[in-house]
Chain A
């Protein structure tokens, strides 16, 4: 299983019946492929729809502008309402990519000054307003830790994330402290520590990710 699949499958386990969920571009979008069969989830795309499965149209697209499908029961609305849902606390969970996360769970994911300037899109609103923020990211970038003491990239929000899922570990931030919850199959606590710059609390009951 490749890193992206491990991350997407594990995050899909966070979905609950009836949730309204916003998925970012990239690995987060893959989470939709692993929705448990026995639950119904509403997905919100940043430009409006809550799609499921069944029809394609050039005017029905995801947050990357690609055609998607929608089951009966989907609905569309303008961008102001879309962000009203996001900032207004109506989105139960968002899954976003990350460039860096600090020891307290603060995220940087929208710019590498002078190098890569994609812009924040909806990320700042989502991290500020969604009830639960889950970050899907590779544990390291070219061997360098992405979970750091302090982000040197510009922050997305001062609101800390709730959960980080990498191909190595699941980390939560209770009380503003990075805490290891799970390790991937074949990955030891020592491996995770070695790949993490931020100080990591390791409780006694760390278990293996079930995939």
Chain B
């Protein structure tokens, strides 16, 4: 793990990168990294996230700045700007059931090819997908998903990059931290090693590549 300035962290992200971004309606989203992506004007991004928050918050800032070429999310209902860009055809949006989205990411991080889920069978979600019958029940084959970068936000990080999360700000963060080539983390509090007890560490230090330093 390396500590890094937010500007240097974002400078590593090329135009066209795929980003898994933690958060649920911007709760648990690394806002400082988002702001820096906007400041540096990274373009043509693919965003994989639960939602696109609301206009001007969290991922909504990337949407408003027109930096997102493709979104893979479960819900965009509270961000009319995402819906407008989807309908206008300026952004491609792939809507995925939330439980399927998180499992595809989990599979990507856990070395699996995908998961079998009953969710979506008999709906438009099954179009183009393989179906399997296992013990008399029908499942969709949902492929694993990975990204170039995971941008996650923790409540606590220690000096070597162990992460712990708070309440509902945990959401997709620890799952995404497992599923990207490079993991960039921000934290509300950076604390000495040992402050987070072993049982409380959710994301282990060895998978965190960069911890963004406080300003």
Contact = CB atoms under 8 A, between A and B. Distances in A.
A78 interface: yes
Contacts of B173: 78
A59 B166 contact: yes
B76 A125 contact: no
A156 interface: yes
Size band of the interface chain A makes with B: 35 or more
A77 to B, nearest CB: 7
A45 B30 CA distance: 21
A5 interface: no
Contact of A121 (B28, B75, B103, B123): B75
B121 A158 contact: yes
Interface string B62-99: 00000000000111111000010011000001010111
Interface in A95-139: 111, 114, 116-125, 128-129
Interface string B12-29: 000000000000111110
A125 B100 contact: yes
Given A49-B167, A80-B103, A128 B172 contact: no
Contact of B168 (A48, A80, A86, A116): A48
Contacts of B98: 46, 79, 83, 120-122, 125
Nearest to B50: A79
Given A60-B167, A125-B99, A155-B123, A79 B27 contact: no
The majority secondary structure among interface residues of chain A is loop
Contacts, number: 148
A43 B138 CA distance: 29
A94 interface: no
B24 A155 contact: no
B170 interface: yes
A161 B121 CA distance: 15
A83 B167 contact: no
Interface string B106-145: 1000000000011111111100000000000000000000
B74 A80 contact: no
A158 B93 contact: no
A111 B123 CA distance: 12
Contacts of A46: 24, 98
Contacts of A129: 99, 118-119
A58 B76 CA distance: 21
Nearest to A76: B167
Given A64-B78, A157-B121, A158-B121, 17 more contacts: A47-B50, A60-B168, A76-B168, A78-B172, A78-B174, A79-B172, A79-B175, A83-B98, A116-B83, A117-B76, A120-B95, A121-B97, A124-B125, A125-B99, A156-B123, A157-B119, A158-B122
List 9 tightest A-B contacts by C-beta distance, closest first: A65-B25, A118-B77, A83-B99, A158-B122, A125-B99, A121-B75, A59-B169, A47-B24, A124-B97
